[in-house]
Structures are given as structure tokens and as C-alpha cells.
């Protein structure tokens, strides 16, 4: 067992709202909390807190209370913070929905999460309305932040001037958020994260991620994803930094926002690092304000990290985590240039780890060098309460002693530095987004010319993981790669599209019928 080198943190027994906003210094209240990267419009901490209270009051007046599930389908705009924290302020549970989801995928999450409200924006309204209709949500339960006929809008709700409700719940057990993750295998499941989970992870990050109230943080990573939710929407605000929002990634706009808003901390996923290292456009912008590039959501190659650091003249760090751990468990500290950039750094405060050999025995940290690889297990206050309504799936990854099986294979050095070297789980990480092979496989099998199919992660020309389909064609049918790609694209979100296709005589399977993905990876 490996323990964090940092002292344990205090985890207050309060709500996430009280933890984040209950003690903002008077001289900080009028400082920028959120900046719209597109328009430049600024929301101060004082304004944000007031908007959160007003939105919570408007929800409470409509029957939203402790335990109500409210879905949020929204890109990164300043209003997201008002809505997200207003939901939590009202005692409700926020289930954040991927902005790229199809109506069917939105409807599936609404149904599984038992959400009775949906918050969205007009550019996403068509998909939201289709999903709402599928699950029986009326228009008055679909809030369109920027306004649409027949739907409540954010200005109208805030304009009611209602007082935030007095709510009571146990922060250690009450669900704050319900993001969706495929975990180690299978279709997406609701990850139950309590107020204590979120507070714990923000507190743990403070010992390693050293941004402060003089920093401007670029928020291009989606708030609906646990990385953006915790590290940006919660941690950066707790540190009293200013969040500069971007609704989607576009390299030119990304570089303009960095330049014009003088952002100092930039949180990214590895595909953005590829662009920063290689694209000639980078040289046309002033990126001198950037102190730290922090990468997560998928593995970052050490050579790529070095290339970015050299080109931008900044520090590049990497972290590790998963939705089930709120998410951060490891990070390279900003002040540790000696730590290998291809590692994920050290355990956060209050976090323990184990490495399990194939026979189930523990692998100890060595006296020198790096250990043998083993499956990484995590224990700490940031570990989820479980999967919503899935005790079977919960039991597969979380034991009675609180150890969470990550499905990732890691090594650890004698001084506590971890490196992720492989993945047991089936999950594909495409540009930081989770892609469940089971979802794509189900779509493939709907095609009349497909006899069988399997999906794995494969590397593209930039060394990034993409979904690859292995397809067995029905006898007597004809099918080409373009048709396979088009069929999947018509039924899934953009990040779930198949990018590579290989035709095969038979899908390798175990005696129990489980797809042998390791055999496919070895091809």
C-alpha cells in the first residue's frame, strides 16, 4: 500500500455551496469569477452568488427540493455556473449531460437518472426537446437559458427575485451530482458523488495544484465532464481565480482567448497538447501569460509534454483520475520539475493506492526504481458512493473496505511517483471523452450486413486513441468501411464515431462469450 506524501486535509461537514461561497472575502466579492471568453462579459463573485441564490429560489418555487434530479445540457458559458450551483443550492442533484449527445442518448440519461427537469440552451434545444418528449417532460420543465417560446428562461427566473430555500441534508450522503461513466466496462452508469466527495477532492487538489486568486484559468474543458466540473467549476472558484469560459474548442479561438485574456493556467486534454506542440498557428499568438499547462482525461506522452513546455515556455503537468473518484487522485506538483512528465505524479492528500498482481497479491513499492505493473486500486474520501441503482456494477469495482478498482495498470517508484502503463478496462478515451465500446457495438449490430462486431481503442497518426471497429460481414452481403463509419455516425454522438474499420472473419471470444479485446489489440 502507498500513502500520499501530503498531510491529510480537513473536510468540512457542509454543503458544496457553503464550502465554495460561504466565506468569500469582502475584497474579493467584486473581483471577476467568470469571464465570457467570446464576449468578454464579466461576472463578479458577488453577482454569481446572487444569481445562484435567485436560481435556487426559482427552482424551489416550482417544487424542486432535496433529492430532485435536474439535468443540465449546456456548453461552457458563465450561466452554467449559476445553474449548476443553483441546483445544488436548492438541495437538488445535478446530472450533467454531454453536449454532443444524440436525443436518444439524452433521453437514456434522463430516464436512468430519473431527472424531472432539463436545463439547456437554444442551440441544443432541438435535441433536448426530442429527448424530453421521449421521457414525458413538458415544456415548462425544460428551461432554455437564453430563451425560447413556451419555456422558462434564465433572465425570467432570476427576475422573479425569489429567496433561496432553507434546505437540510447530510453532506456525507446526499448526492450533489450524478455524472455518467462507463466505469471499467459496459454502458454509462450514474456515478453517485456526494457533497463530501466534491469538497474532499477540491480540498485535496489544493495541496498539489497551486493556482491562486491572481490567476486567470482557461475553461475550455467541458463543465459537464467531471474534470471540468471539479477542477475548474469548483476548485478554481474555491481558489478565487477567474474562469475564462469557452463553449467549444477551436484552435484559433483558443489561442486568441489565451492571448487577449492573459490566461495563466490552462487545463487541457492531450489532443490540445498535440496542436500546441505542432500547429504553426501557435506562433501567431502571444502565449507568454501561460504559466502552467495541466493535462488530464487521457494519458499524455512525456515527449509531447516536453515539446509543449519548450514551445510555450511554461510548465506542463499531468494528473490522473476517473469520474468515480470525483475525479483527481494523482498529480504532478507544479514545483516538482524533477518528476517525469509522462508519469501522473503523486497521490493527492488523504489518498491511498494499491497495485494488484494478476494473482491478487499486493505489489509493494520498491527500494529503488519502479515496481512491477499491477492494477491500480484507490481509497480516499473522493471515492464515489456507488453507481445509481446498480449494486451489481458497484460491487464489481468497490469493495467493503472502500477500495476502488480503476481498471488501469500502473507502476510506482520508490519515491511514490505513479505511471499508467496499460488499461484493463474496455473504455476508450477519444480526445478526453469516454467512449463505451458496448454502445458502438450495439449500433453496429443493428446494420443488416453486420454479422458480428467489436470495438477497441487504436492509435491514430498523432498517437491519440480512436474507436476502431472490427466487423464480420453477413454471408452474401457486401459492406465497405465508409458504409460502416456512416452507419455509426448516424446514431451516436460525434466523439463516439468509428474512425477506423477492419474486416475480420470472426470476433475472438472467450468460452463465456466475452470479446477478447486483447487479441484484437494484438493484431
Alpha carbons 506 and 484: distance in angstroms, whole number = 17
Does residue 182 register a pLDDT over 90?
no
Q: Stretch 17-26: mean pLDDT, rounded?
A: 97
Instruction: Give the cell for residue 177.
Output: 451530482
- The alpha carbon of residue 205 and the mean position of all alpha carbons in its chain are separated, in whole angstroms, by 16
Residue 356 has phi, psi (to 5 degrees) of: -105, 130
pLDDT value, residue 511: 63
**Residue 356: count of CB within 10 angstroms of its CB:** 16
For residue 138, name the pLDDT band (cuts at 50, 70, 90). very high
Q: What is the pLDDT of residues 427-483, one digit of tens each?
A: 788 988 878 787 898 899 889 999 989 999 999 988 889 999 999 999 999 999 999
Q: Using a CB cutoff of 8 Å and minimum separation of 24, what contacts does 309-316 make? A: 309/341, 311/276, 311/277, 311/282, 312/276, 312/282, 312/287, 313/288, 314/287, 314/290, 315/291, 316/273, 316/292, 316/341
pLDDT value, residue 423: 78
Domain 436-521 listed as CATH 3.30.300.30: yes
pLDDT value, residue 207: 85
**First-to-last CA distance in the chain?**
35
Does residue 258 register a pLDDT over 80?
yes
CATH architecture type of domain 31-169: 3-Layer(aba) Sandwich (3.40)
Instruction: Give the cell for residue 464.
Output: 491519440
Q: How are the residues of the chain apportioned to helix, strand and coil, as percentages rounded to the nearest 5?
A: 30, 25, 45
> Omega into 489 within 30° of 0, i.e. cis?
no
Q: Stretch 189-213: mean pLDDT, rounded?
A: 96
**Residue 171: count of CB within 10 angstroms of its CB:** 20
Q: What 3-state class would DSSP assign to 397?
A: helix
Counting beta carbons within 10 angstroms of the beta carbon of residue 519, is it exposed (0 to 12), middle (13 to 18) or buried (19 or more)?
middle
Residues carrying CATH 3.30.300.30, the chain: 436-521
Instruction: Give the cell for residue 377.
Output: 486500486
pLDDT value, residue 391: 97
Alpha carbons 327 and 382: distance in angstroms, whole number = 7
CA dihedral 283, 285, 287, 288 (to 10 degrees): 90
**Residue 305: count of CB within 10 angstroms of its CB:** 23
Does residue 421 register a pLDDT over 90?
no
Counting beta carbons within 10 angstroms of the beta carbon of residue 361, is it exposed (0 to 12), middle (13 to 18) or buried (19 or more)?
exposed
**pTM above threshold 0.85:** yes
Does residue 512 register a pLDDT over 60?
no
346 within 8 A of 4, measured Cβ to Cβ:
yes
Q: Stretch 86-106: mean pLDDT, rounded?
A: 96
For 198-426, CATH number out of 3.60.110.10, 3.40.50.12780, 3.40.50.2000, 3.40.630.30 equals: 3.40.50.12780
H-state helical runs in 62-147: 78-89, 103-113, 125-135
Stated length of the chain: 523
Q: Please provide the average confidence, as pLDDT, over all residues in the chain.
A: 94
pLDDT value, residue 463: 86
Residues carrying CATH 3.40.50.980, the chain: 31-169
Strand (E) positions, 247-397?
A: 265-268, 292-295, 315-321, 328-331, 346-347, 352-356, 374-379, 386-387
Q: What is the pLDDT of residues 324-338, one digit of tens each?
A: 999 999 999 999 999
- Secondary structure of 180-214 in the HEC alphabet? EECCCCCCCEEEEEEHHHHHHHHHHHCCCCCCCCC
Does residue 404 register a pLDDT over 60?
yes
Write the CB contacts of 340 (distance below 8 Å, at least 6 apart in sequence).
302, 417, 419
Does residue 239 register a pLDDT over 70?
yes
Residues carrying CATH 3.40.50.12780, the chain: 198-426
For residue 515, name the pLDDT band (cuts at 50, 70, 90). confident
Residue 121 has phi, psi (to 5 degrees) of: -130, 160
Alpha carbons 499 and 238: distance in angstroms, whole number = 39
pLDDT value, residue 278: 87
Amino acid at each position: 500500500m502507498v500513502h500520499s506524501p501530503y498531510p491529510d486535509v480537513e473536510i468540512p461537514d457542509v454543503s458544496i455551496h457553503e464550502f465554495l461561497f460561504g466565506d468569500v472575502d469582502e475584497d474579493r466579492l467584486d473581483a471577476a469569477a467568470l469571464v465570457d471568453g467570446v464576449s468578454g462579459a464579466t461576472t463578479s463573485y458577488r453577482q454569481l452568488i446572487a444569481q445562484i441564490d435567485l436560481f435556487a429560489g426559482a427552482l424551489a418555487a416550482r417544487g424542486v427540493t432535496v433529492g430532485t434530479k435536474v439535468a443540465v445540457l449546456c456548453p461552457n458559458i458563465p450561466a452554467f455556473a449559476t445553474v449548476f450551483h443553483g441546483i445544488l443550492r436548492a438541495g437538488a442533484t445535478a446530472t450533467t449531460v454531454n453536449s454532443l449527445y444524440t436525443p436518444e442518448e439524452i433521453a437514456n440519461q434522463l430516464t436512468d437518472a430519473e431527472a424531472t427537469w432539463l436545463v439547456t440552451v437554444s442551440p441544443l434545444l432541438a435535441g433536448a426537446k426530442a429527448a424530453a418528449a421521449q421521457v414525458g417532460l413538458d415544456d415548462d420543465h425544460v428551461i432554455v437559458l437564453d430563451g425560447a417560446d413556451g419555456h422558462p428562461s434564465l433572465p425570467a427566473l432570476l427576475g422573479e427575485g425569489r429567496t433561496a430555500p432553507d434546505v437540510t441534508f447530510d453532506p456525507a450522503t446526499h448526492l450533489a451530482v450524478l455524472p455518467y461513466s462507463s466505469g471499467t466496462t459496459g454502458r454509462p452508469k450514474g456515478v453517485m458523488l456526494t457533497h463530501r466527495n466534491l469538497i474532499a477532492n477540491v480540498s485535496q487538489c489544493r495541496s498539489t495544484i497551486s493556482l491562486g486568486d491572481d490567476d486567470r484559468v482557461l475553461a475550455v474543458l467541458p463543465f459537464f465532464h467531471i474534470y471540468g466540473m471539479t477542477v475548474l467549476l469548483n476548485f478554481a472558484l474555491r481558489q478565487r481565480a477567474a474562469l475564462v469560459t469557452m463553449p467549444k474548442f477551436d484552435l484559433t479561438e483558443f489561442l486568441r482567448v489565451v492571448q487577449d485574456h492573459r490566461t495563466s493556467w490552462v487545463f487541457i486534454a492531450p489532443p490540445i497538447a498535440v496542436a500546441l506542440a505542432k500547429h504553426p498557428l501557435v506562433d501567431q499568438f502571444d502565449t507568454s501569460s501561460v504559466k502552467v499547462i495541466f493535462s488530464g482525461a487521457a494519458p499524455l506522452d512525456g515527449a509531447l509534454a516536453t515539446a509543449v513546455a519548450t514551445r510555450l515556455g511554461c510548465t506542463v503537468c499531468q494528473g490522473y483520475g476517473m469520474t468515480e473518484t470525483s475525479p483527481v487522485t494523482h498529480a504532478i506538483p507544479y514545483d516538482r520539475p524533477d518528476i517525469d512528465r509522462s508519469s501522473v505524479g503523486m497521490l493527492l492528500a488523504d489518498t491511498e493506492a494499491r497495485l494488484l498482481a494478476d494473482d491478487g497479491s499486493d505489489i509493494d513499492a520498491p527500494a529503488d526504481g519502479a515496481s512491477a505493473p499491477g492494477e491500480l486500486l484507490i481509497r480516499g474520501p473522493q471515492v464515489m458512493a456507488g453507481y445509481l441503482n446498480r449494486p451489481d456494477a458497484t460491487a464489481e469495482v468497490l469493495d467493503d473496505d472502500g477500495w476502488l478498482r480503476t481498471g488501469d495498470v500502473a507502476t510506482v517508484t520508490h519515491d511514490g511517483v505513479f505511471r499508467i502503463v496499460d488499461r484493463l478496462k474496455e473504455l476508450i478515451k477519444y480526445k478526453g471523452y469516454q467512449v463505451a465500446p458496448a454502445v458502438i457495438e450495439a449500433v453496429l449490430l443493428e446494420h443488416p450486413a453486420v454479422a458480428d462486431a467489436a470495438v477497441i481503442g487504436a492509435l491514430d497518426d498523432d498517437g491519440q486513441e480512436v474507436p476502431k471497429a472490427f466487423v464480420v460481414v453477413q454471408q452474401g452481403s457486401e459492406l465497405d468501411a465508409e458504409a460502416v463509419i456512416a452507419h455509426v455516425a448516424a446514431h451516436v454522438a460525434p466523439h463516439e464515431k468509428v474512425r477506423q474499420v477492419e474486416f475480420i472473419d470472426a470476433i475472438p471470444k472467450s468460452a463465456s462469450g466475452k470479446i477478447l479485446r486483447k487479441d484484437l489489440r494484438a493484431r
